[in-house]
Amino acid sequence: MRAVADTDVYIFALNFGGTSEEILGLGRARTIQLFISPSILEEIEEVLLRKFYWSARNIREATTAIQELAQLIHPREAIHLITEDEPDNRILECAVEANADCVITGDRHLRQLKTFRGIPIVNSREFIGAYGARDLGG
């Protein structure tokens, strides 16, 4: 299973645990393949600093750990579908470049799409539910 996790999944995993942390655990165990782009990493850094007041050192450690469990890719296609929150398009760009099987997000703009170019867009609980129901390790 090839998946792109939105910024919110990483933020929730790092600060609150729960299903988001389970998803990162699946990536760490290589049960699923997670993909991330430089733009997504930058947004994670910015949110950890601005909303959670993390230190530069802790942010660096977190982003290093993320890059150990998610493959860094560089999307070639620029997508401008979501106008209400333009950075959400970076998630779609990453998913297309990764040839992802799904996008995992809690973001309402992305969730409203339901799918993008045949890629299902699900929240963390839906993803964990699907993982429990069938083997996504392919």
**Inter-residue long-range contacts of 57-65, CB under 8 Å, 24+ positions, other chains counted:** 62/14
Q: In which domain, by residue range, is 75 found? A: 2-136
The rounded mean pLDDT for the chain is: 95
Contact residues for 86 (Cβ-Cβ < 8 A; gap 6+): 80
Q: What phi and psi values does residue 30 have, to the nearest 5 degrees?
A: 65, 25
CATH number of domain containing 25: 3.40.50.1010
This model's pTM is above 0.75: yes
Q: What is the pLDDT of residue 73?
A: 98
Is residue 107 within 8 A of residue 88, CB to CB? The reply is: yes
Amino acid at 86: E
pLDDT (tens digit, 9 = 90+) per residue, 8-59? Answer: 999 999 999 999 999 999 999 999 999 999 999 999 999 999 999 999 999 9
Q: State the average pLDDT over residues 91-116.
A: 98
pLDDT band for position 130 (50/70/90)? confident
Which position has the token pair 């890629």?
A: 119
Domain count across the chain: 1
Greatest Cα pair distance in the chain: 40
Question: What pLDDT score was predicted for residue 137?
Answer: 45
pLDDT at 131: 72
Q: Please say whether the beta carbons of 2 and 94 come within 8 A.
A: no
